[in-house]
Amino acid sequence: MKKLIAGAVALSIIGAGCQKTTSETSEIEIKKGYLIYKNNCSMCHWETVTPEQIRNIRKMVKEGKKPPFAAPPMSEVSARVKKFYPTEEKFVAFVKDYITNPSREKGVCLPMAYKIFGVMPPIGRNMSEDSKEAVAKWLYYRFNMSWEEFMKKHPH
Ligand code: HEC
């Protein structure tokens, strides 16, 4: 019963517009991943961004101003990484490695991202394997837009 309630809470936190999880990846793990995102990633990566926000931020950057965040939003990161690592297994392996040993060569973000924000610091070095796994799975399942859909909705 307890498990069922926790599952329902996780589902309501994750909300609409996410991918269905496989049986190996539980809703509980995704919920844990969300908390890890909140504590370790959200200070740089916004969770999502509206097309209007992207438009305004693009204008600010063009005018030489700093954007209001220090990294691309997670909705964009998720779509972008899926373009290169589409399966859950490859995606999770990439994210776990990237956050531990990030580099310009490995990264798959748009060139603009490195120009504006620089390369991500190795946040994952202070995280447990379990935490890295959970946050990578949250990032995979939280969003379901393809890169092409994302760019069509949020042109920049
Ligand atoms: C201090 C700011 C900062 C924090 C904290 C941070 N990131 Fe990042 N992250 C960045 C920046 C800047 C980029 C874009 C440049 C790059 O990809 O290295 C980025 C890019 C990424 C990418 C795309 C990698 C690529 O280039 O292909 C992933 C995935 C990612 N972050 C995951 C995470 C996760 C998960 C966390 C939390 C555990 C996290 N980040 C915390 C700054 C941060």
DSSP state of 104: T
Distances (CA, A) of 137 to 18, 101, 126, 140: 12, 18, 18, 5
Residues with CB under 6 A from ligand 1: 40-41, 43-45, 70-72, 77, 81, 95, 98-99, 102, 107-109, 113-114, 117-121, 123, 135, 139
Instruction: Answer whether residue 16 shows pLDDT above 70.
Output: no
Q: What are the sequence ranges of the domains in the chain?
A: 2-153
The 10s digit of each residue's pLDDT in 111-134 is 999 999 999 999 999 999 999 999
Q: pLDDT band at 17, cuts 50/70/90?
A: low
- Residues 6 or more apart whose CB falls under 8 angstroms from that of 145 comprise 17, 75, 78, 79, 153
Residue 12's identity, in one-letter code, is S
How much is the pLDDT for 149? 96
Measured in angstroms, how far is the CA atom of residue 4 from the centroid of ligand 1?
Answer: 33
Instruction: Answer whether residue 6 shows pLDDT above 70.
Output: no
Compute the mean pLDDT over every residue in the chain, rounded to the nearest whole number.
90
Encoding tokens for residue 81? Answer: 């990484």
Please name the residue whose Cα sits nearest to atom 10 of ligand 1: 120
- Index of the ligand 1 atom closest to the CA of residue 124: 38
